[in-house]
Amino acid sequence: MIIGSHVSYGSKGLVGSVEEALSYGANTFMFYTGAPQNTIRKPIDKEQVLEAQKLMQENKIDINTVICHAPYIVNLANNLDEAKYNFSINFLKNEVARCEEMAIKYLVLHPGSSVGIEKKQALDNIIFGLNQILKRDTDVTILLETMAGKGTELGRTIEEIKYLIEGVENQDKIGVCIDTCHLNDAGYDMRDFKTFLDTFDKEIGINKIKCVHVNDSKNSINTHKDRHANIGLGTLGFETILNIVNNEQLKDVPKILETPYIGEDDNDKNRIYPPYKMEIEMLKKGEFKENLLEEIREFYKEETKN
Ligand code: FE
Ligand code: FE
Ligand code: ZN
């Protein structure tokens, strides 16, 4: 199983990301090239990248499965503010260039939100933007993420994703990242993953799926909320998620956890314990840990003692 989680990218850049992934027992990972919620980016440090690539090689992380995620705030859908729209396109061009510099193959992108314009126009804006970014010699594939449909978010349905994909000129540069929490919230029943996958295959083609975001959901199906839950502790449940990560047809596709950090209790705003080590363990073994949250707290409390 190719499985990892979202990891940070701090002062040590990609090296820190690899180290964090290894601390979770992961064999892949996903990172942002800076803060997820802003577009402030530093130039890529070549030395750091070489060191990170070496560390990956030594620890059998295949760089071809590593995922970069674009910040949430770039929006290719709305062009009412032309300067903002052009900023988003330019930012993504640079983000693709940064990925190329690091030899990262996949960049996950939220398709965008229409906010005040007609859906068809918004979808066409995304397509126009993508075609500015993805050229024949681009070495990166952009993966459109399936969204929960919160607010005016696009990419909620297979039909919308299909429309976007079909509009892209360079077909080999575009793919899909499915997110299990988002799909549930969008209205797809993850307990019947086979039906979802068959429909997806018929409409778009299963080979377009290059990444799976593995999250449980705090909300029931079709609620358009987008709040992730820890594995087995949400409405999807452990068996449903286990069935997805073990799907034969998605065997070679990286699975990335984006589940929430843990606090001292459910009301603790100070969420400092990453759940990924234990969640990865559970999914690899196929066994649910009844005391998942306690185990995570205990583990990291011991760690800080030592
Ligand atoms: Fe995302
Ligand atoms: Fe996601
Ligand atoms: Zn989400």
Chain segment 261-284, per-residue pLDDT in tens: 999 887 888 899 999 999 999 999
What's the pLDDT score for residue 81? 95
Alpha helices for the chain (secondary structure H): 13-23, 46-58, 82-102, 119-133, 158-167, 180-186, 193-203, 238-245, 276-285, 292-305
179 Cα–ligand 2 center, Å: 5
284 Cα–ligand 3 center, Å: 23
222 Cα–ligand 2 center, Å: 16
17 Cα–ligand 2 center, Å: 18
Ligand approaching nearest to the C-alpha of 182: 3
135 Cα–ligand 3 center, Å: 28
What's the pLDDT score for residue 266? 79
109 Cα–ligand 1 center, Å: 7
183 Cα–ligand 2 center, Å: 10
9 Cα–ligand 3 center, Å: 19
Q: What domains can you pick out in the chain, each with its CATH number?
A: 3-305 (3.20.20.150)
Ligand approaching nearest to the C-alpha of 178: 2
What's the pLDDT score for residue 267? 82
292 Cα–ligand 1 center, Å: 24
- Closest-CA residue to 215 (of 195, 190, 251): 190
Distances (CA, A) of 35 to 31, 73, 135: 10, 11, 26
> How far is Cα 274 from Cα 290, in angstroms, rounded to an integer?
17
> How far is Cα 106 from Cα 140, in angstroms, rounded to an integer?
6
Ligand approaching nearest to the C-alpha of 32: 1
> How far is Cα 302 from Cα 56, in angstroms, rounded to an integer?
27
List beta partners, residue 214.
Answer: 257
Ligand approaching nearest to the C-alpha of 71: 1
165 Cα–ligand 1 center, Å: 17
> How far is Cα 46 from Cα 101, in angstroms, rounded to an integer?
8
What's the pLDDT score for residue 217? 98
Question: Residues in the chain with pLDDT < 70?
Answer: none
> How far is Cα 278 from Cα 65, in angstroms, rounded to an integer?
21
Q: What tokens does 67 get?
A: 């995922």
- Closest-CA residue to 125 (of 139, 115, 135): 115
Ligand approaching nearest to the C-alpha of 179: 2
227 Cα–ligand 3 center, Å: 6
57 Cα–ligand 1 center, Å: 27
